[in-house]
Amino acid sequence: MAATIHDVAKLAGVNSSTVSRVLNGKATITGETKEKIYAAMKRLDYHPNSVARSLASGLSGAIGVVVDAQDAEAFSNVFFSRSLFAIEQVAQARGYNVIITNGGKQAARAIETLMLERKVDSLILPPSTIKPSLLAKIGDFPYVVLGQPDSAKLSASWVDNNNEQGAELAVQHLLGKGYQGIAYLGGNQGADFVKRRVKGYQSALPRGAEPLVLPTDGTPEDAQRAAAAALQTKAPPGAFVCNDNLAAFGLLKAAKALGIAVPRELGVVTFDNYPLAEYTDPPLTAVDIDTALLGEQTAQLLFQRLERKTANQQILLETALIPRESSDRM
Amino acid sequence: MAATIHDVAKLAGVNSSTVSRVLNGKATITGETKEKIYAAMKRLDYHPNSVARSLASGLSGAIGVVVDAQDAEAFSNVFFSRSLFAIEQVAQARGYNVIITNGGKQAARAIETLMLERKVDSLILPPSTIKPSLLAKIGDFPYVVLGQPDSAKLSASWVDNNNEQGAELAVQHLLGKGYQGIAYLGGNQGADFVKRRVKGYQSALPRGAEPLVLPTDGTPEDAQRAAAAALQTKAPPGAFVCNDNLAAFGLLKAAKALGIAVPRELGVVTFDNYPLAEYTDPPLTAVDIDTALLGEQTAQLLFQRLERKTANQQILLETALIPRESSDRM
DNA sequence: TTCAGTCATGCAATCGATTGCGTAAAGAAA
DNA sequence: TTTCTTTACGCAATCGATTGCATGACTGAA
């Protein structure tokens, strides 16, 4: 079987506690002794059993990432997986492992399992789980929220993109290009991040401009329908900020069907810069949400809290606008 | 602190080993005793410490998933994250947790950490890790490969989509629609799954038809260039099978630029049915790779091996063709 | 009534580390 | 040289379960 700390100790002619100490750098050990121990570890191909280590130390060296996927789609979305990648990178660099679990309807149970049974050292949670009932169970267990939670009243550490600022950026960009009559297309109006985007959109409109928000059910078809309807009114919008790429797809189709030229007659900016945004016709100007950075910052914040016991902290990441043809009237 | 098995035992007036036995259903316990123990567990909100359990039993109740991401992109790809979701679903249903780690260049180290230190019960590995050097270290540790490994000589359990069959399906579909001169566009010719697709493509061509394979660097731009070049030869292809959506995007652009009508003058079928494939102009006929099923089957196979110690097994999943406009000449 | 054979449960070792306490040896101070 | 600190390391308890062995109680057969 695999060599244990005792095998190493015996071979090196020392006590296992000494081996443990060199393993953890926790005490002053003679160079000579260290050498013997290192040699023994190498000869036996010793790998410390992290399970035993966890039990003894109370630290598991693992973090739990809970995702909130109603269905396979949400889990698979690019947003999440890039963030997850970044989180794992940071964790791996610090010698931590990442346990993922899909919360969904059973988020409470998933979180309890991770905390109470699996004994992870810390959690990354989705905003949807941040409710008083769950928070009570979590107590002062260290966690960071990946995304801005709904209730501003609850104190928590979180990291999110600045959706409000992103929407402002989009509107300002369109205004700068000379577009007028800017509408907002798409998005489930119930979702909190959509509300923030709409808020930013509204606040960036010039004085006197009437906001026009066209919610959709999320499909491009519905976006196409909504956009087509708006474009055929007496005073059609001169530009759209789209809540996501699918909405932008629907919009482009509607414009094409109506013979409206983008970007000459209609400006389009979309949230999210997915791989294909750049290959539409015309290529879409996009508010880039840096999901990798989001994950990285979340993990960094988590380890900061874990290692230095810092206070709660909220981080809003600035978004950037990537100009492409769909809004390039000049 | 959290209640332990001893607290439960004391409150129920029994020995901790009895509690352990009802917990694991490993012996005949009186109904009355069980009741007392359940009551005590409930009163104390007892959650078994899976770390201690692992140490004692030698089973961690965790599986490790290694992914091979050269960069953030690979990790984030829809392919992977859907599979991961499915894997986690299956694992959760069986009370297992999933530990993910990005192998990359250090895959060997990652695997060793998972096996030897973290003590996962089983592994899901990417085909790229299935090399003799690594296999020697893995020994008879149970693992399943998510994807068909390069070397057919090595015995292993794996699950993959039938790429060869998928390509045949695409060619047959195009032939059935009356297209002639079918070319294959895109894909890194070094990748093994691409080779399998090309093989299927070639074998499905009618006798005497000359295969034409146009490799690209993976970008739509390169696909556009390659497609445009081919379309301007004396005997241009009448249809394309594209290795992925990005290649198909490039192709559509090239056709549009050259004034070639799809699907009337040119048929297009693409591998992968990503969310946007359906929203291109025209919508793309696609060979659907069911990544969720892929993950699910992989996990199922893993638990089968784990619980019933079955022999190695290879599973090839049939792909399906989703007809859309891009190949609908009739 | 006795004896063998379950049944239900307790005892204590064990898994592989960590860590507080104790101590011999070495070095410093007097 | 004696005494006082450090330094380097060993001893043994501990973390919270699991599990082989032992045993008393009970059941049924002879």
pLDDT in tens, A166-206: 999 999 999 999 999 999 998 887 788 999 999 999 999 99
H, E, C per residue of chain A: CCCCHHHHHHHHCCCHHHHHHHHHCCCCCCHHHHHHHHHHHHHHCCCCCHHHHHHHHCCCCEEEEEECCCCHHHHHCHHHHHHHHHHHHHHHHCCCEEEEEECHHHHHHHHHHHHHHCCCCEEEECHHHCCHHHHHHHCCCCEEEECCCCCCCCCCCEEEECHHHHHHHHHHHHHHCCCCCEEEECCCCCCHHHHHHHHHHHHHCCCCCCCEEECCCCCHHHHHHHHHHHHCCCCCCCEEEECCHHHHHHHHHHHHHHCCCCCCCCEEEEECCCHHHHHCCCCCEEEECCHHHHHHHHHHHHHHHHHHCCCCCEEEECCEEECCHHHCCC
User: Would you place residue A70 in the very low, low, confident or very high pLDDT band (cuts 50, 70, 90)?
Assistant: low
Q: Taking CB atoms and an 8 Å limit, are B77 and A81 in contact across chains?
A: yes
Chain A touched by B197 (CB under 8 Å): no
With CA atoms as reference, the chain B residue closest to A48 would be B117
Chain A touched by B116 (CB under 8 Å): yes
A-B C-beta contacts closer than 8 Å: 143
pLDDT > 70 fraction of chain A, expressed in percent and rounded: 96
Nucleotides of C under 7 A from a protein CB: 7-12, 14-20
Angle, alpha carbons B201-B207-B211 (nearest 5°): 40
Separation of alpha carbons A80 and B82, rounded Å: 11
Among B49, B89, B245, B276, pick the best mutation site for testing chain A contact (most A Cβ within 10 A): B276
User: Would you place residue A165 in the very low, low, confident or very high pLDDT band (cuts 50, 70, 90)?
Assistant: very high
Residue window 300-329, chain B: list those with CB within 8 Å of chain A.
none
Among B4, B7, B46, B76, pick the best mutation site for testing chain A contact (most A Cβ within 10 A): B76
Measuring alpha carbon to C1', the residue closest to nucleotide D6 is: A28
Residue B312, CB, strand C, below 7 Å: no
Higher pLDDT, A73 or B285: B285
- Measured in angstroms, the CA of B59 and the nearest CA of chain A are apart by 10
Tokens of B260: 């070639």
Q: What is the pLDDT of residue A73?
A: 52
A66 to chain B: which residues are within 8 Å by CB?
Answer: none
CA neighbours within 13 Å on the CB side: how many for B330? 7
What tens-digit pLDDT sequence spans chain B (330 residues)?
799 999 999 999 999 999 999 999 887 888 889 999 999 999 999 999 999 999 999 999 999 999 887 644 544 466 678 889 899 999 999 999 999 998 878 899 999 999 999 999 999 999 888 988 889 999 889 999 999 998 766 788 999 999 999 999 999 999 999 999 999 998 887 788 999 999 999 999 999 999 999 999 988 899 999 999 999 999 999 999 999 988 999 999 999 999 999 999 999 999 988 777 887 889 999 999 888 899 999 999 999 999 877 889 999 999 999 999 999 987
Q: What is the pLDDT of residue A71?
A: 46
Tokens of B322: 């989703």
Separation of alpha carbons A270 and A319, rounded Å: 12
Instruction: Name the amino acid, one letter, at A37.
Output: I
Q: Taking CB atoms and an 8 Å limit, are A279 and B47 in contact across chains?
A: no
Q: What is the pLDDT of residue B220?
A: 87
Q: What is the pLDDT of residue B299?
A: 97
Higher pLDDT, A10 or A29: A10
CA distances in angstroms from B296 to A160, B116, B157, B237, listed in the order given? 31, 26, 14, 38
- Measured in angstroms, the CA of B206 and the nearest CA of chain A are apart by 34
CB distance A96 to A117 below 8 Å: no
Give the one of A50, A75, A274 whose C-beta lies nearest to B81's C-beta: A75
| pLDDT, chain A, mean | 91
Chain B touched by A188 (CB under 8 Å): no
pTM: 0.92
Q: What is the pLDDT of residue A72?
A: 45
Q: What is the pLDDT of residue B78?
A: 63
Among A73-87, A159-173, A242-256, A275-289, the least confident range? A73-87
Q: Taking CB atoms and an 8 Å limit, are A97 and B99 in contact across chains?
A: yes
Q: What is the pLDDT of residue A307?
A: 83
- As a rounded value in angstroms, the CA-to-C1' distance for B13 and D25 is 18
Output the CA torsion sign for A51, A56, A57, A59. positive
Give the one of A2, A119, A279 whose C-beta lies nearest to B249's C-beta: A279
Among A286-300, A313-327, B301-315, the least confident range? B301-315
- As a rounded value in angstroms, the CA-to-C1' distance for B24 and C6 is 21
- Measured in angstroms, the CA of A281 and the nearest CA of chain B are apart by 9
DSSP code of B301? H
Among A65, A97, A219, pick the best mutation site for testing chain B contact (most B Cβ within 10 A): A97
Q: What is the pLDDT of residues A97-140, one digit of tens each?
A: 999 998 878 889 999 999 999 999 999 999 888 988 889 999 88
B246 to chain A: which residues are within 8 Å by CB?
Answer: 275-276, 279
Label the pairing between strands A314-317 and A158-161: parallel
Please, which residues have CB within 8 angstroms of residue A71's CB and are 6 or more apart in sequence?
Answer: none
- As a rounded value in angstroms, the CA-to-C1' distance for A4 and C28 is 40
Q: In this model, does residue A77 exceed pLDDT 70?
A: no
User: Would you place residue A76 in the very low, low, confident or very high pLDDT band (cuts 50, 70, 90)?
Assistant: very low
Q: Which nucleotide is nearest to A28 (CA to C1')?
A: D8
- Measured in angstroms, the CA of A148 and the nearest CA of chain B are apart by 22
Q: In this model, does residue A325 exceed pLDDT 50?
A: yes
Q: Taking CB atoms and an 8 Å limit, are B99 and A99 in contact across chains?
A: yes
Q: In this model, does residue A75 exceed pLDDT 70?
A: no
